[in-house]
Amino acid sequence: MAIDIGPVKKERPKENNIILILPILFLILSFMVYFLIAFLFVPQKNSEIQKLTSEISNLNTASVNSNIKELNTAKVFISDFKILLDNSPKMSKFFESFEAWKHPQIVYSNLKIDSSIRNVSVFGKTTTNRNLMEQIATLKNEQSIESYELSNIVVSETGETSFNISLIIKAGLLR
């Protein structure tokens, strides 16, 4: 009877293999994740960024820029025009109003108007001071006049009356 004297194969326990295989698998997996991120995802993102950047630079077209320039010009022109127009008093309205409330028997002359302070000063002359009284009564009720001030009233022996009158017109009248 023959006796086998060769080396006896020892079986490695399975748990020993798992201890080695699992970490190696994780290590391989880690490297795969790294390579995926570093050589696939990041370059993809880079090319996407490049594409979007070039898209942005292509958006600044000449026609859009000229439209924007024209709109800005229009905005400034229209805004300034409106402001200046709104602040330009309509002096003709004062003359219309003056015709309406001035006494027919008083002769007015030396009219001075300063539109910035809405001040009107005028010299008046009439045959009797009753006309001046009537004029004052009209001025008191006149809606377009904010205030008035009489000065240099001179009544002659014949009753002829001369005076200066200074008025502040309401802002609404000159709009």
Partner 1 sequence: MEQKQINLLIAGVIVVLIFGVFQYLISPKYQEMIFKNSEIESLQGQIKNINDYYSFTEASFQKLKNAGWETKKDIIGANFTSSPFFFPKAHHLLRNLASQNGLTVSNITNSNPVDILKTQEEYKDLLQGPVKKTTFNLSLLGTQESFKNLLSTIENQARIITVKNISVLPVSTYAGPIPEGFLNFNLSVDLYSY
Nearer to partner 1, 2 or 59 (CB): 59
Cα separation, 89 vs 111, whole angstroms = 17
Give the residues lining the site for partner 1 (CB under 8 A).
12-13, 16, 19-20, 22-24, 26-27, 30-31, 33-34, 37-38, 41-42, 45-46, 48-49, 52-53, 55-56, 59, 64, 67-68, 70-71, 73-81, 83-92, 95, 109-116
Own/partner long-range contacts of 59-64 (Cβ < 8 Å, ≥24 apart): none
Nearest distance from C-beta of residue 173 to partner 1, angstroms:
13
Cα separation, 20 vs 24, whole angstroms = 6
Nearer to partner 1, 116 or 152 (CB): 116
Nearer to partner 1, 70 or 133 (CB): 70
Cα separation, 150 vs 104, whole angstroms = 18
Nearest distance from C-beta of residue 21 to partner 1, angstroms:
9
Asked whether the beta carbons of 94 and 113 are under 8 A apart, the reply is yes
State the DSSP H helix or E strand holding residue 94, giving kind and residue range, or none if neither: helix 91-101
Nearer to partner 1, 79 or 147 (CB): 79
